[in-house]
């Protein structure tokens, strides 16, 4: 239709979206990089050009490495639980014998991911609370009193306690993505595997996994990116403490910018978050492109 | 199938089923505990964290509401409804030419819009903070609404565009012959057909805006303008050890999304599985 060839009208339709996206998503990213080259504080107009000094400082900053390590830990544990357990749960719920109950389990498992991280974080602060918390109370009931612990108050367990909360919240989310992927696998593949005498586990390894490779990749990437930009959970539950033991990149950025008023340094940390998430995204695009061409 | 085999698979089924139930309990129990503890006295919570309250203390919910949750709730309602409405309108407008028109550079426009999905809000926190100050909207509702709209547009446009691509074109063709303008084609013919995906997009956008924390923490200073996630975070220090009122506040904050999810589960699932992006 000729009406669909009018480029001016097309651009007019897209204009509001373009303005929003360019002004409030792309421009701030570039601006952030420029900000990282200056020393400045939030309430003064003075900016001193320092070049890449903040990047050099970051590379020799021990807190930066603590944060990086915590983000990496977050990513690894989340891949095991969200992608690994999520995938297995989805496969189990798609077994013929379980399908009758699927809606119930799906609803329950997914539910935590619609709740705000603040609510979940504050709730788990109470669950982990050494005095009134459910976790210690549970451990006492089952006779594991020696394991009771101030989970968020001790630097050796705090990071794991936060990560565990995140798994509780998001396994069901990733599971849902796998459920849909598994539902798309043609039934014939399972039927011929059955004829070959495969049991449920063999079917899972030889039919299901190869068919959902793409979803495994995508969910792993989502999980890694999520782990490297995590902020809310940490800020709500420990704000980086005790000490600096649960600091992650985003919480360190927040502390540098809004607590220590070193906006340039905060922008430097933001650039690192950008680089990491961007590189991971590029890897995903490249891998899925190669797959499509193959 | 012989009997022995049958018995074994029944046993495995029961075992797996038990595991699934256990995991359900792990998910539901803390949420139930949150709701029930919100009805308790602080003393009951201390002495018997597992037990049921002697009588339902609705006053906890009342106190939570009065101490600030009510105000935050109204703020969240306002910010969410404006953000979602504007996001939907702008995204649908943008998806229309991207799914129907043929023009040079179309793919570049598509890339600019959809590419926004790859960029983490965390990276823009510092510069957006500064930008909002310069625009003189820092510490107003708009300091949240505008960034929320911007960061929801890419995904919402993506969802609506895929849906528009799947729609049949016969109706538009005849409308075009009738001399319909492009705006009326969009507004009177295509948009009404997009109702299902608009509902899905609205739900997902509402969920992400209602729950957003980081921008709400940094771009608002005034406690009377706070939305729920940051508001209840501050309540924690105000209430200090009034745990049960805090738990009531958490329940009030979580319930709208839980109810929306249970009622509109189908729409949620459709959107999430199409996009596959988190948060």
pLDDT digits (tens, 9 = 90+) for A105-143: 999 999 999 999 999 999 999 899 887 788 888 888 888
* Residue A191 CA, distance from chain mean position: 36
* Residue B182 near chain A (CB below 8 Å): yes
Q: What's the CATH number where A55 sits?
A: 1.10.3720.10
Evaluated on CA atoms B169, B174, B177, B182, the torsion sign reads: negative
Place of tokens 């993506």: B158
Answer yes or no: do A109 and B122 touch at CB < 8 A: no
State the pLDDT at residue A23. Answer: 97
Do A137 and A7 lie in one domain? The reply is no
The answer for residues whose C-beta is within 8 angstroms of residue A122's C-beta and 6 or more apart is A236, B232, B233, B236, B246, B250
Whole-model pTM: value is: 0.91
Domain that holds residue A231: 36-293
Residue A49, strand partner residues? A38
With cut-offs at 50, 70 and 90, classify the pLDDT of residue B6: low
Do A65 and A26 lie in one domain? The reply is no
Do A23 and A43 lie in one domain? The reply is no
Do A92 and A209 lie in one domain? The reply is yes
The count of CB pairs under 8 A between chains A and B is 270
Stretch B79-97: mean pLDDT, rounded? Answer: 97
For chain B, the residue count is: 279
With cut-offs at 50, 70 and 90, classify the pLDDT of residue B23: very high
Pull the structure tokens for residue A159: 């990071």
Choose among A5, A25, A123: nearest Cβ to B119: A25
- Residue B190 CB coordination number (10 Å): 21
Do A149 and A93 lie in one domain? The reply is yes
> Of A112-121, B18-27, B52-61, B140-149, which range is least confident?
B52-61
Per-residue pLDDT of B110-129, as tens digits, reads 999 999 988 899 999 999 99
State the pLDDT at residue B51. Answer: 78
Q: Is the pLDDT of residue B175 over 90?
A: no
ipTM of the complex, rounded to two decimals? 0.91
Q: Is the pLDDT of residue B205 over 90?
A: yes
With cut-offs at 50, 70 and 90, classify the pLDDT of residue B279: very low
* Residue B70 near chain A (CB below 8 Å): no
Distance, CA of B232 to CA of B239 (rounded, Å): 10
8 Å CB contact between B257 and A115: yes
Do A6 and A132 lie in one domain? The reply is no
How many CA atoms does the CB half-sphere of A179 hold within 13 Å?
24
Answer yes or no: do A24 and B186 touch at CB < 8 A: no
Residue A40, strand partner residues? A47
State the pLDDT at residue A198. Answer: 83
8 Å CB contact between B118 and A226: no
- From A180, A75, A101, select the one nearest B269 (Cα to Cα): A180
- Residue A9 CB coordination number (10 Å): 19
Distance, CA of A105 to CA of A163 (rounded, Å): 23
With cut-offs at 50, 70 and 90, classify the pLDDT of residue B270: confident
State the pLDDT at residue B3. Answer: 47
* Residue A271 near chain B (CB below 8 Å): yes
**Collapsing DSSP states into helix, strand and coil, what is residue B57?**
coil
- From A170, A267, A94, select the one nearest B16 (Cα to Cα): A94
Do A51 and A119 lie in one domain? The reply is yes
| Interface test mutation site (partner B, options A25, A35, A235, max chain B beta carbons within 10 A) | A25
Do A5 and A80 lie in one domain? The reply is no
Look over chain B and give the mean of its residue pLDDT values, rounded to a whole number.
Answer: 89
Place of tokens 């009018």: A6
* Neighboring chain A residues of B101 at a CB cutoff of 8 Å: 4-7, 9-10
Distance, CA of A110 to CA of A90 (rounded, Å): 12
Do A160 and A125 lie in one domain? The reply is yes
Looking at the structure of chain A, the number of domains it has is 2
Question: What is the secondary structure of A28-86 as a DSSP string?
Answer: HHHHHHHHTTEEE-TT---EEE-TTHHHHHHHT-HHHHHHHHHHHHHHHHHIIIIIIIH
Residue ranges for chain A with pLDDT beneath 50 = none
- Residue A177 CB coordination number (10 Å): 25
Q: In chain A, which residue's Cα lies nearest the Cα of B42?
A: A132
State the pLDDT at residue B2. Answer: 45
> Of A83-97, A143-157, B13-27, B173-187, which range is least confident?
B173-187
Answer yes or no: do B265 and A107 touch at CB < 8 A: yes
Do A190 and A216 lie in one domain? The reply is yes
Do A107 and A49 lie in one domain? The reply is yes
Smallest CA–CA distance, residue A73 to chain B, in Å, is 19
Do A136 and A8 lie in one domain? The reply is no
> Residues 194-253, chain B: which have Cβ within 8 Å of A?
207, 210-211, 213-214, 217-218, 228-230, 232-233, 236, 243, 246-247, 250, 253
With cut-offs at 50, 70 and 90, classify the pLDDT of residue B1: very low
H or E element: which one contains A191? helix A187-195
């Amino acid at each position: 239709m000729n009406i669909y060839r009018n480029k001016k009208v097309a651009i007019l339709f897209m204009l509001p979206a373009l303005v929003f996206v360019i002004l409030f998503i792309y421009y701030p990213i570039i601006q952030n990089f420029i900000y990282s080259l200056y020393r400045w504080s939030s309430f003064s107009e003075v900016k001193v050009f320092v070049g890449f000094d903040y990047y050099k400082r970051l590379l020799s900053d021990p807190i930066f490495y603590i944060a990086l390590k915590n983000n990496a830990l977050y990513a690894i544990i989340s891949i095991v639980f969200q992608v690994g357990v999520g995938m297995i749960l989805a496969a189990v719920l798609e077994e013929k014998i379980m399908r009758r109950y699927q809606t119930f389990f799906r609803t329950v498992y997914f539910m935590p991911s619609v709740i705000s991280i603040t609510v979940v974080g504050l709730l788990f602060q109470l669950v982990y609370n050494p005095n009134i918390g459910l976790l210690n109370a549970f451990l006492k009931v089952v006779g594991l009193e020696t394991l009771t612990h101030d989970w968020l108050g001790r630097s050796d367990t705090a990071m794991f306690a936060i990560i565990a909360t995140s798994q509780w919240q998001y396994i069901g989310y990733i599971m849902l993505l796998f459920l849909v992927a598994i539902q798309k696998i043609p039934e014939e593949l399972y039927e011929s595997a059955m004829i070959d005498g495969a049991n449920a586990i063999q079917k899972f390894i030889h039919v299901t996994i190869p068919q959902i490779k793409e979803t495994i990749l995508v969910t792993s990437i989502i999980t890694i990116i999520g782990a490297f930009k995590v902020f809310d959970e940490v800020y709500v539950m420990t704000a980086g403490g005790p000490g600096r033991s649960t600091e992650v990149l985003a919480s360190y950025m927040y502390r540098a910018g809004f607590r220590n008023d070193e906006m340039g340094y905060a922008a430097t940390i933001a650039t690192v978050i950008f680089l990491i998430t961007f590189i991971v995204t590029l890897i995903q695009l490249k891998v899925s492109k190669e797959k499509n061409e193959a | 199938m012989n009997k022995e085999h049958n018995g074994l698979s029944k046993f495995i089924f029961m075992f797996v089923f038990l595991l699934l139930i256990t995991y359900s309990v792990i998910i539901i129990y803390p949420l139930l505990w949150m709701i029930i503890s919100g009805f308790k006295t602080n003393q009951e919570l201390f002495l018997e964290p597992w037990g049921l309250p002697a009588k339902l203390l609705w006053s906890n919910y009342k106190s939570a509401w009065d101490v600030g949750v009510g105000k935050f709730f109204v703020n969240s309602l306002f910010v969410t409804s404006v953000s979602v409405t504007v996001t939907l309108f702008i995204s649908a407008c943008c998806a229309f030419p991207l799914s129907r028109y043929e023009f040079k550079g179309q793919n570049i426009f598509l890339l600019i819009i959809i590419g926004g999905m790859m960029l983490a809000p965390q990276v823009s926190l510092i510069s957006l903070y500064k930008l909002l100050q310069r625009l003189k909207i820092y510490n107003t509702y708009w300091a949240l609404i505008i960034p929320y709209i911007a960061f929801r547009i890419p995904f919402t446009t993506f969802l609506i565009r895929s849906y528009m691509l799947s729609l049949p074109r016969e109706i538009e063709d005849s409308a075009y012959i009738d001399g319909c303008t492009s705006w009326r084609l969009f507004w009177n013919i295509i948009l009404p057909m997009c109702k299902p995906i608009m509902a899905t997009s609205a739900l997902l956008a509402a969920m992400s805006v209602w729950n957003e924390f980081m921008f709400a923490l940094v771009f608002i200073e005034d406690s009377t303008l706070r939305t729920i996630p940051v508001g209840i975070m501050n309540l924690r220090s105000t209430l200090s050890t009034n745990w049960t009122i805090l738990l009531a506040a958490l329940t009030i904050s979580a319930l709208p999304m839980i109810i929306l999810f249970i009622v509109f589960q189908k729409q949620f699932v459709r959107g999430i599985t199409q996009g596959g992006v988190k948060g």
